[in-house]
Amino acid sequence: MTKPSGSSTTDKHARITEQGDQHQASSADTPLLPQAFERSEEEKMAIIAKAFGTIMETLGLDLRDDSLQGTPARVAKMYVQEIFRGLDPANFPEISVFDNKYDYRRMLVERNIAVKSTCEHHFQPILGKAHIGYIANGKVIGLSKLNRIVDYFARRPQVQERMTKQILLTLQQALGTQDVIVLVDAKHMCVTHRGIEDQDSSTLTIEYSGQFSQTDLREEFLRYVQLGIS
């Protein structure tokens, strides 16, 4: 339903909240401010620590307690240097590609790559596995680089659909081929620990291009990652 042009700020906030609850992404690019990289890590951690301390005090926690007084700084360091380090392009992994000297022209599949990400709508963990397949077009990539690319895009506030596409686009560029497929199977703590609190469901996202647009090749890939396709 189209909202009237004079919709209130409350209506706008309701629509934004609904978009977040439905896990909708607006772009294949992570939304970043133009000045996202102007501050140093130390400056970011100082600001985050102060803000998180305010959150804790607002919740009624006593930061004078020995167990709590270091928490704001620990959270700030964790955000900047660990779980959100994928926001900084300086942390993009060095990608090594090699000539396909063996002339291997079949599908190569890397299964069960760990996904440790964070839902950008509720800042709750996303945990699961990624499965990648590609057909070499003159170049092959070091196997560990596939894991590092997944980890890089996972370590930022994310929407699973966007993350899946970001991995695909990066591999297309690195390998110089459209013959790439990426599947992610993950559990979202914003589903299991809040809202509906469904402990058993997981989310599957898939992106593919090139030869993987052919149904038989996609089904072969899915058989390799053992997702019940016979």
Residues known to be catalytic: 119-122, 160, 188, 190
Beta-carbon count within 10 A of 55 CB: 11
| Contact by Cβ (8 Å): 136, 104 | yes
Of 186, 149, 179, 182, whose CA–CA distance to 164 is shortest? 182
The alpha helices in the chain, defined as continuous H runs, are: 9-21, 41-58, 71-78, 143-154, 160-175, 189-192, 215-224
Report, in this order, helix, strand and coil percent for the chain, each rounded to 5: 40, 20, 40
**Strand order across the beta sheet in which 180-188 lies:** 157-158, 107-119, 125-135, 180-188, 203-208
Q: How far is CA 194 from CA 124, 128, 209, in A?
A: 10, 18, 35
